[in-house]
Chain A
Amino acid sequence: MTVAPDEQKIAVERIDIAPYDTIGTNYFENYEYNIYVMNKDGSGLRKIKFPE
C-alpha cells in the first residue's frame, strides 16, 4: 500500500480470488494480483488496467 504525497489517494495491491470451485476433495481457486486506487476515505475504488 502507498499513500500519495498530497494524501488524497491510496494505492494498494490486492489478491483477487475468482469464484472458486470444489472438485472432488480439492478446493480450487484462481487468483490475480491487481493494483487499485481509491480516495483517502476509501471511496472511488478503481482497478488499474495496465497496458499489456
Chain B
Amino acid sequence: MKFPVSVFLSLAIVLSLTYCVKDKTIVIVNPPPIGCTQTDSFLLPVHDTVYSIPFPWQAPLGWQVMVNRRYQYFTPCFNPNNPNEMVYVRQDRTVSLTTCELRIFDLCTGEDRLLYPFGYLGAHPQWSKTGWIVFKAAVGSLWKIRSSGQGLVQLTYGNDQLAVWSPDGSKILFKRFGFNIILCDSNGVILDTLTQLLGGGNWSWGIPDKLTIATNNSPTGYGVGYFDFNLNEYVLVKALDLNNNNCLLLRSTLWFNQNRDIIYSFICGIEATNVSAGQTTTIKRWR
C-alpha cells in the first residue's frame, strides 16, 4: 500500500506543529499572572517547599535572628477596583526600622511607585473602593491618602492601628491602644466603641454587616469567625489549636469565594473554611 505524497506531507506538518506546541509548553515556565498579557521578570516562580525546620522558639539552647537584606516587604493590599494593583509597606533597614515607605506595585507592568515616605512599620495600609488608602503613619496615628498620592489627611490622634474600611468606604474600624475597638466615619469622627469585639484582631470588612475576625478570648477560644453587626454576636467558624508551636498563629482573615468562605493566613500556611458547612480546604502550606 502506497501513501500519496500529499498525505505524507500533511502528516509531517501535523507532527512538526505538535512538536512545536509541546516545545512551547515546556519553555514557558512562568506564564503571565491571570489578567495580565505579558510574561514577566519580576514574578519569580517558586517551588512549593514545605519547610520541616523547627521554629526558633523551639530551639532548646536559645536563638538569635540575623537580617541581612536591606529591604523587607510587608502587608500587601489589593486595589478593590483593580486586581493587578496593590499597596504594600517597604522597610529600608539602612534608614529606619520603624519608619517605612508605602508603595504601589502593578503586577502586570512591574511599575513600582512611592505613595508616602513616612508610614509606620505596622502601617497596615487598606485600600477602599472610593480610592482612599488608610494607614498608620510613623507620627500621628491613622491617616488617609488618595492612591494618586494627593489629599493626605490625619484622621486620629491616639495610639491607633489595624484600620479597615467598610465595604462602601464610608466607615473605618480600628484598634486603639491595642485594646478598644473604635468605629469612625471616613473623616475620623468617632461613631461607636465596640466592646463586643474585645480580644479580636486580624479583621476584614468585606460584607456590610459581617466582619471576619480572629479571636483569642474566652469563651470563644482561639479561632476564626465573624461578627454579625445585626445580631450583635460572634460566630466561631473554625477553632484552631496552637499546640504550643505557634504554627497556627493567625495573621489575617478575609471573606473569600463570594463570601461563602473565610480565608485565613497563619505562620505555616493558608486555609479556607466554608462558613455554612464548616469544611476546611488547605490553600497553601509553608511549614
Q: List chain A positions with a Cβ less than 8 A from chain B.
A: 1-15, 17, 20, 25-42, 44-52
Contacts and interface: CB of A to CB of B under 8 A. Distances in A.
A8 B35 contact: yes
A52 B70 contact: yes
B42 A48 contact: yes
A7 B78 CA distance: 11
A33 B45 CA distance: 17
B205 to A, nearest CB: 13
Nearest to B81: A5
A15 B267 contact: yes
A1 B252 contact: yes
Contacts of A15: 267
A15 to B, nearest CB: 7
A50 B62 contact: no
Interface in B57-112: 59, 61-84, 86, 88, 90-91, 103, 105, 107, 110, 112
Given A5-B83, A52-B71, 10 more contacts: A2-B76, A2-B86, A3-B254, A5-B79, A9-B34, A13-B251, A30-B65, A37-B43, A49-B43, A49-B44
B177 interface: no
Contact of B64 (A8, A27, A33): A27
B34 A11 contact: no
Contacts of A39: 34
Given A1-B265, A13-B74, A51-B110, A7 B256 contact: yes
13 contacts: A1-B254, A5-B78, A12-B284, A13-B74, A32-B67, A35-B74, A37-B107, A41-B283, A44-B33, A46-B33, A48-B105, A48-B107, A49-B42
Nearest to B72: A33
A2 B270 contact: no
